[in-house]
Amino acid sequence: MCRVKCGFLACVFVFWPIEVLAQRSPRLPTSEDYETPRSLALGLGARASALSTAALANNPANLALARLYHLEGALGYVPQHRQFSFGAAVIDSFSSWLAMGIQYRYLLGNGEYGHSGMDGRIGLAIALSEAFSVGVVGRYHSLVREGQIEGDLRGPYAEGVNFDLSLRFSPLTGFHIAVIGQNLIDYGTPYVARLVGGSVSYSFGTLLSLALDALADISTFRTPRDEIRPELLIGGAAELFTGEVPVRAGYFYDSGRGIHALSAGLGYVRPEFSIELGWRQQVVQGDETRLLLSFRYFLR
C-alpha cells in the first residue's frame, strides 16, 4: 500500500509542473489584420455585406458595391496588452469606374511583450455587372515583436508585401455571396495567417442584415509530420438599423486556438458623417478585449 501511495505522489510531482508550465506557455496570437468598428463588432466581419472602409479591410470586391467617397480616422485599444492602434483610410468608388481605397495603420505596443509596427494597403475593385464584382488589395506589413520569453510561439517577424483577393456575387436583391483569399503569400508567422473561405449575407430591406462567415487558416497549424493542418474560423452576425443608430452583435470561433469571442457595436450615422464603436471580448481561451472607435466623413 505504501508503495502505491508513493508511486502516485511521484507521478503528481512529476506531471504537475509540466501541466502548470503548459498552462502558462503563450498561446499563438491571432492574425494581425486591419479592422473597422463594424468588422470588429460583427464576428468575422460580415464580409459579404461590407461597404466602404470595412470592404477595404474584409472584402475588396465590395468597394465597387456602392458609389461613395469616404474619409475615416480610427483609434484602437487592447487593454490586456496596453496596445494602441491609429489608422486612417480613404475610399473612392464615385469618381471612376475603378473603385479604390487606401489605408494606413500604426500599432504602438507596450515595449515589453506583444508587438508593434505598421501596415498599409491599396485596394482596387471593378463591378463587371450589378451582380458581380472582383477586388484585390495589395498590402505592405512590418510587424516587430517586443520582448520574448521562453516558449514564445508567435513566430518570426512579419515584414513584406502581401495581397488579398475576393469575388462578390449578388444573385438576389439584398443577398450577397463573397469568396475571399487573405494574406495569400505565406510568411510563416501567425501574425499574417493565410485565410481562404467565404461569406453570405441577407438584408431584410433597410432594417436588418444577417451574415455568416467561414474561413480556413491554411498556414498556422501543422501536424506532427509537419504538414499543414487547416483550422476553421467561423463568425455569425446581426446588424439592426434603427434610423441613425446601427446596432451590431456577433460571435467568433477559432477552432485552432479554441477561442470563443462575443462582439457588439453601436454607431451614429448622419448624411455627412458617422461615429462608430466596436468591441470584441474573448470568453474562452483568454480574456483579450479589443476596442475600436472611428470617425468617418462622407464627401459623397
pTM (2 d.p.): 0.85
117, 107 contact by CB (below 8 A): yes
pLDDT tens-place values along the chain, 300 residues long: 444 444 433 443 333 333 333 333 346 777 888 899 999 999 999 999 999 999 999 999 999 999 999 999 999 999 988 999 999 999 999 999 999 999 999 999 888 877 889 999 999 999 999 999 999 999 999 988 777 655 555 555 788 999 999 999 999 999 999 999 999 999 888 889 999 999 999 999 889 999 999 999 999 998 999 899 999 999 999 999 988 999 999 999 999 999 999 999 999 999 999 999 999 999 998 899 999 999 999 998
Residue 251: its pLDDT value, please? 98
Residue 151: its pLDDT value, please? 58
Domain segments of the chain as ranges: 29-298
Scanning the chain, the segments in alpha helix (DSSP H) are 2-24, 37-41, 52-58
Extract the C-alpha cell encoding 144: 516587430
Extract the C-alpha cell encoding 278: 466596436
Extract the C-alpha cell encoding 216: 480556413
E strand intervals along the chain: 69-78, 83-92, 98-108, 114-129, 132-146, 158-172, 175-182, 195-204, 208-217, 231-242, 245-254, 259-269, 273-284, 289-298
At 74, which amino acid appears? A
Q: How would CATH label the architecture of 29-298?
A: Beta Barrel (2.40)
Q: What are phi and psi of 64, to 5 degrees?
A: -95, 5
Q: What is the dihedral of CA 92, 76, 32, 285, to 10 degrees?
A: -140
Extract the C-alpha cell encoding 85: 492602434
